[in-house]
């Protein structure tokens, strides 16, 4: 396919020295490096995927990197988000990432944007770039970005990781590719899954080195697309299994129904809203007059639990039916921060349990307000 970016100005002596190993590659050469130096890449997320991808994009000499993220650095990020350091904890991720990238390559312009992407601002934030690298970690934002890139005609490199598995693809519109190759996220997953159906990395975990592997692949896709090298993952999806060290590629074609609306408008997919009572940790300090369910995963249970709690992972709770014996008395459900507990509690209410509550803020709030001896994670 044709390169996405035109060659920029002639390289300076400093650039010639710095990027000499690229210049020795016939597929890159002077012209390819000039394309990279003239490219503007928007990286969404300074997290597990964005960090390693940006390291290699900056090292490769991409001219301008805009990094968009609304979060701050947390200690649990340091297991995989390799641009951040201990001293960055509590600092905006975009500032931490920008500092690290400028230290790595001062020839690259880095533009930090601490903003949360919404349907209202996404088009203005993405406009003006040559390509988007999507390292976002939630389905809501991924589909907002997918729709915006489709409308703007922006090529996009996308990936998702969970536990030991990953998927990578490059979504490139016409006229850069043939119509049968011009795919988007909604061709791969036509509608977002319901929040009950897919755990986040914070809930399920992720192998840190897999983020590095996938982020490097994403950076490689950006470089190939910008400079017109090789065979990018256009019309194809790369599947990675880190446990078995196996990879495979599956074809992807456009769907006629790819533009159908999001899950909330799908008939039969809308779930009734369940009002749940929220209980503060201080109210449970002296005990709970019924059953306390810890719906986290076993590895999380091993880190510590509320005294007297019964460990039952959320996936198991969601398999209970109206014929199963439900917990006796008032039930208090908690997880790490709240979402899993709310799913489990709502399921119990739908099964007919008369008294179900959720611990506001989960075990993290319990640690902050009641028992700081337990480890935060």
Q: How many CB atoms lie within 10 A of CB 132?
A: 26
Assess contact for 80 and 208: CB atoms under 8 A: yes
Between CA 37 and CA 287 the distance in angstroms is: 62
Stated length of the chain? 377
249 phi and psi angles, rounded to 5 deg: -120, 130
Using the structure block, give the residue that is written with the tokens 């997919």: 269
Q: Say which of 42, 149, 201, 211 is annotated catalytic.
A: 201
Between CA 283 and CA 369 the distance in angstroms is: 11
Assess contact for 239 and 248: CB atoms under 8 A: yes
Among 127, 257, 253, smallest CA distance to 190 is for 257
Return the structure tokens found at 353: 């349990």
Assess contact for 367 and 376: CB atoms under 8 A: yes
Among 360, 217, 188, 194, smallest CA distance to 270 is for 194
The helix, strand and coil proportions of the chain, stated in percent and rounded to the nearest 5, come to 35, 20, 45
Between CA 173 and CA 189 the distance in angstroms is: 17
Sheet with 331-334, edge to edge strand ranges: 277-279, 356-359, 331-334, 291-294, 310-311
Active site residue 201: yes
Using the structure block, give the residue that is written with the tokens 């998927």: 167
Active site residue 149: no
Task: Name the CA dihedral angle for 75, 80, 83, 87, rounded to a multiple of 10 degrees.
Answer: 20
Between CA 52 and CA 294 the distance in angstroms is: 34
Residues carrying an active site annotation: 201, 335
């Amino acid at each position: 396919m044709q390169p996405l970016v035109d060659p920029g100005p002639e390289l300076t002596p400093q650039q010639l020295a710095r990027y000499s190993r690229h210049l020795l590659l016939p597929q890159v050469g002077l012209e390819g490096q000039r394309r990279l130096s003239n490219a503007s890449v928007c990286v969404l997320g300074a997290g597990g995927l964005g960090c390693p991808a940006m390291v290699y994009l900056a090292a490769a000499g991409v001219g301008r990197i805009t990094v968009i993220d609304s979060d701050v650095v947390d200690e649990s990020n340091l297991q995989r988000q390799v641009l951040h350091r201990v001293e960055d904890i509590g600092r905006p991720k975009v500032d931490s990432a920008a500092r690290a990238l400028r230290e790595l390559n001062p020839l690259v312009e880095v533009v930090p944007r601490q903003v949360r992407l919404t349907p209202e601002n996404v088009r203005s934030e993405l406009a003006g770039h040559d390509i988007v690298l999507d390292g976002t970690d939630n389905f809501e934002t991924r589909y907002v970005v997918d729709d915006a890139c489709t409308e703007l005609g922006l090529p996009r490199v996308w990936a998702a990781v969970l536990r030991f598995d990953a998927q990578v693809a490059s979504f490139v519109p016409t006229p850069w590719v043939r119509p049968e190759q011009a795919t988007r996220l909604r061709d791969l997953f036509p509608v977002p899954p319901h929040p009950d159906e897919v755990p986040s990395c914070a809930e399920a975990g992720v192998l840190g080195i897999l983020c590095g592997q996938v982020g490097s692949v994403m950076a490689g896709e950006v470089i190939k697309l910008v400079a017109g090298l090789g065979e990018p993952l256009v019309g194809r999806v790369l599947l990675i299994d880190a446990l078995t060290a196996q990879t495979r590629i599956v074809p992807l074609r456009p769907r006629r129904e790819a533009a159908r609306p999001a899950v909330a408008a799908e008939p039969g997919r809308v779930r009734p809203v369940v009002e749940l009572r929220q209980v503060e940790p201080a109210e449970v300090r002296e005990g709970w007059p019924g059953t306390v369910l810890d719906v986290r995963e076993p590895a999380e249970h091993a880190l510590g639990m509320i005294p007297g709690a019964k460990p039952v992972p959320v996936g198991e709770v969601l398999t209970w039916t109206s014929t199963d014996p439900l917990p006796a008395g008032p039930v208090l459900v908690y997880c790490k921060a709240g979402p899993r507990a709310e799913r489990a509690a709502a399921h119990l209410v739908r099964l007919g349990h008369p008294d179900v509550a959720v611990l506001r803020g989960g075990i993290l709030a319990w640690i902050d307000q009641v028992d700081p001896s337990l480890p935060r994670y």
